[in-house]
Amino acid sequence: MHTNPRTLGEFIIKNQAAFPYSSGELSSLINAIRLAAKVVNHEVNKAGLVDILGAIGATNIQGEKQQKLDVFANEKFIQALGNREIVCGIVSEEEDGFITLNSDDEKNQNKYVVLIDPLDGSSNIDVNISVGTVFSIYRRISPVGSPVQLEDFLQAGRDQVAAGYVIYGTSTMLVYSTGEGVNGFTLNPAIGSFYLSHPEMKFPENGSIYSVNEGNYEYFPEGVKKYIKYCQKKEEDRPYSSRYVGSLVSDFHRNMIKGGIYMYPNSEIANDGKLRLLYECNPMAYIAEQAGGKAIDGRQRILDIQPSELHQRVPFFCGSKNMVEKLEEFI
């Protein structure tokens, strides 16, 4: 931490000119996410003391059991974003379709849509492992003043104007980019402010960590199997360390700081992979590229994929540039 650290609010104001469309919108959007993140952080940190643990008894559109904290986080982020006169629509992992905001107000000038995974890795809450929030921001393409359309959300990742994540761990951090590099802010819980703690974050070009659910090894494509064996082979700079938390945000965050590759391939039991393109892979790929890393689906750049549906799944390989390119040689 710097001697006189800059707060997130101060950083946004100072760097607002770097946001090409902004006239205060960026500040409002990030502040909404910051507010909701602090509320969710408070609940995460007292999860063992209150009735907020475990499944709620319902499933989301993915067919996954909803945890109580999933529902809580979803409500808080939608509420915070909806209270700002800037967002016209939201897609959440926890909702079947998109949410339209201010649809009856023909005069509303809301220009942005937000796609969000409110609580990534929430099943880890019960065992006190880090979880996170992932978000993606686009400028709408339908006319301002009209209800938001499906096409506003089905944009390629390269068209994101901002993306980021919050990690709720031993400390709580908000990491984001508006296309001018990546910066990380750590929450000081004593006063409730985020401070710039990790300026200009970068993926090391090389790394020594690979993150994959090796329990599914037998179902992986042959090229991925060969790359895993490459990672395990004893050489001058290998074997690499296997580190897999099972929370995308946690695995990504560690690998960006230390150098590594995250893999969730397609397989015989998940033909299209597991991770969702719009609110998991795209924002993480955006952050990765802004930090000098690389993200692919095995055939192409993640950010070049044209989405076809809101909850579309894709294989995901992301991390240090040289590690991803070595993987490409195998697949």
**Is the confidence at residue 110, as pLDDT, over 90?**
no
What own/partner pairs with CB < 8 Å and gap ≥ 24 does 45-50 have? 45/168, 47/125, 48/128
| Average pLDDT over the chain, rounded to an integer | 89
Per-residue pLDDT, 320:
98
DSSP state of 127: G
Is 126 annotated among the ligand-binding residues? no
Is 146 annotated among the ligand-binding residues? no
**Greater model confidence, 187 or 68:** 187
Q: Write down the pTM of the prediction.
A: 0.91
**Is the confidence at residue 184, as pLDDT, over 60?**
yes
**Is the confidence at residue 241, as pLDDT, over 90?**
yes
Instruction: Set out the domains of the chain in order of their start, with CATH numbers.
Output: 8-198 (3.30.540.10), 209-330 (3.40.190.80)
Per-residue pLDDT, 132:
94
Per-residue pLDDT, 74:
92
Backbone angles phi, psi at 75, to 5 degrees: -65, -40
CA–CA distance from 89 to each of 74, 144, 184, 192, 310 (Å)? Answer: 14, 12, 26, 28, 13
Helix residue spans in the chain (DSSP H): 8-14, 25-45, 68-82, 222-232, 248-258, 282-290, 321-330
Provide mean pLDDT across the span 142-170: 94
**Is the confidence at residue 83, as pLDDT, over 90?**
no
**Greater model confidence, 130 or 151:** 151
Helix residue spans in 94-196 (DSSP H): none
Per-residue pLDDT, 147:
87
Is 280 annotated among the ligand-binding residues? yes
Two structure tokens written together for 96 = 């079947």
CA–CA distance from 139 to each of 16, 26, 58, 121, 153 (Å)? Answer: 16, 11, 33, 28, 9
Q: Coil, strand or helix: which one is 140? A: coil
Is 213 annotated among the ligand-binding residues? yes
Rounded distance between C-alpha atoms, residue 198 and residue 228, angstroms:
31
Is 107 annotated among the ligand-binding residues? no
Is 130 annotated among the ligand-binding residues? no
Is 258 annotated among the ligand-binding residues? no
Is 123 annotated among the ligand-binding residues? yes
**Is the confidence at residue 149, as pLDDT, over 90?**
yes
Is 121 annotated among the ligand-binding residues? yes
